[in-house]
Amino acid sequence: MFLANPSNMRLILFFSALAGAAWCLETFAGDQVLRVKASSEEEINKLQLLETLEHLQLDFWRRPSNPELPVDIRVPFPSLQAVKVFLESHHIEYSILLEDLQVLIEEEKQEMINNQRRERGTSNFNYGAYHPLDSIYAALDDLAAEYPSLVSKQTIGESYEKRPMYILKFSTGGTNRPAIWLDAGIHSREWVTQATALWTAKKIASEYGSNPSITSLLNRMDIFLLVVTNPDGYAFTHTNNRMWRKTRSKISGSLCVGVDPNRNWDAGFGGPGASTNPCSESYHGPSANSEVEVKNVVNFIKSHGKIQAFLTLHSYSQLLLFPFGYKCTNPADYNELDAVGKAAASALASLHGTTYKVGTICSTIYQASGGSIDWSYDYGIKYSFAFELRDTGRYGFLLPASQIIPTAEETWLGLLKIMEHVRDNQ
């Protein structure tokens, strides 16, 4: 029994195309596929008669056999009118299944090319280089296409300049499982963070099933990854100013553009360590969550409801930080966070010897209000950590691309340590 499922259809198309090529029919432009419903044996006989008319060059995809089953015929354009007149004059019911075969073949060809590209895509992508926004977004698509049972791409909203904010969801199933959040690139000039996040996505996707840690983690929890938290800023670092840090929002009453997205969260907002000057790199913005990029993340976290860890990547300085930044007092979970942080830093250092300092934001880096991990911690997400990745100032933001993969590899070990602790302490 011939079943007209999509793969069979494709085969048919393919063979038709081959056949067409063989008979020097270079195009199927205007050809249609008609679905004919014979309602009686008599009508079946008429259709079988049609079959014998070779000059019509009809191509029966489903041959007339009994009235229960539809008959599908590819009718070449020159014969279309004749066939339709025949069917109508004999009151044989039909419908147009495919309106223009050539269009379909073109689409098919393109899809095959796309599929081929996708299949090579993530193995061709150079994770050890810095990429513009479009390439990163294409890589996200490639990952979702290559690992469809594990990875899906979602949008959590748009940036100020209407760029989509895409997250990758890593999930092996369940409904609304407890999850880990990881974001990068909130400060656009910190290029090693977006690059590290992308490498990490590939790492997780490709090693689920073979790496016991990743596998056990994803069997219980989901991971959400936001590779480019500040896409407008990131685009700007490519087109205009490599050192751009903030968002690109217009500020009323000022000629200066942009808000420091990591001073814009609702945690000690407007306090010490953030500027009231719109022209400043650490301008906190007119109000908490005024930046749509921040608001989108907050909304996602709140509506998900089961985020257990909030991890964010920055550069540079080689630090592993936990709350608080807006106040210089220790969080209630200081001992645990410090212990986890130290274990993570130790794991990180084990690979290439890169040393990280661990501590609260205020004591380790500087007092800064309105930061993301302070918000997430006060919101109830205990495991809130910020990484400041390589280096310690030689290259700073301009970290050579040759250091991307070593940075990503060592950072992964630190991230994994934290995630395993979260998994084991739910």
Active site residues: 388
Q: Which residue has the tokens 């602790």?
A: 421
Q: What's the one-letter identity of residue 69?
A: L
Residue pair 386/408 in contact (Cβ under 8 Å)? The answer is no
Euclidean distance between the first and final Cα of the chain, in Å?
Answer: 53
- Considering only residues 200, 264, 282, 296, which one is a binding residue for other proteins as defined by CB under 8 A? 282
Q: Toward other proteins, which CB reaches closer, 21 or 243?
A: 243
Query: CB neighbours of 33 closer than 8 A, spacing ≥ 6?
Result: 61, 72, 73, 74, 75, 96, 97, 98, 101
Binders of other proteins in range 218-257 (CB under 8 A): 237-238, 242-243, 245
- The DSSP secondary-structure symbol of 257 reads B
Q: Does 400 bind other proteins (CB under 8 A)?
A: yes
- Considering only residues 359, 370, 371, 414, which one is a binding residue for other proteins as defined by CB under 8 A? 359
Q: Toward other proteins, which CB reaches closer, 31 or 374?
A: 374
151-158 and 93-98 beta bridge pairing: unpaired
Residue pair 237/188 in contact (Cβ under 8 Å)? The answer is yes
Q: Does 396 bind other proteins (CB under 8 A)?
A: yes
Residue pair 316/393 in contact (Cβ under 8 Å)? The answer is yes
Number of residues that bind other proteins (CB under 8 A): 36
- Considering only residues 264, 403, 407, 411, which one is a binding residue for other proteins as defined by CB under 8 A? 403
Least distance (Å) from other proteins to the CB of residue 359? 6
Q: Toward other proteins, which CB reaches closer, 132 or 157?
A: 132
Please give the radius of gyration of the chain, using alpha carbons only, rounded to the nearest integer: 29
Q: Does 357 bind other proteins (CB under 8 A)?
A: yes
- Considering only residues 273, 331, 371, 414, which one is a binding residue for other proteins as defined by CB under 8 A? 273
Q: Does 397 bind other proteins (CB under 8 A)?
A: yes
Residue environment code for 27-48, b if the CB has 16+ CB neighbours within 10 A, otherwise e: ebeebbbbbbebeeeebbebbe
- Considering only residues 363, 409, 420, 421, which one is a binding residue for other proteins as defined by CB under 8 A? 363
- The CA distance from 242 to 250, in Å, is 19
Residue pair 288/269 in contact (Cβ under 8 Å)? The answer is yes
Binders of other proteins in range 118-147 (CB under 8 A): 129-130
Q: Does 395 bind other proteins (CB under 8 A)?
A: yes
Residues that bind other proteins (CB under 8 A): 129-130, 191, 237-238, 242-243, 245, 260, 273, 275, 280-282, 355, 357-359, 363-368, 392-403
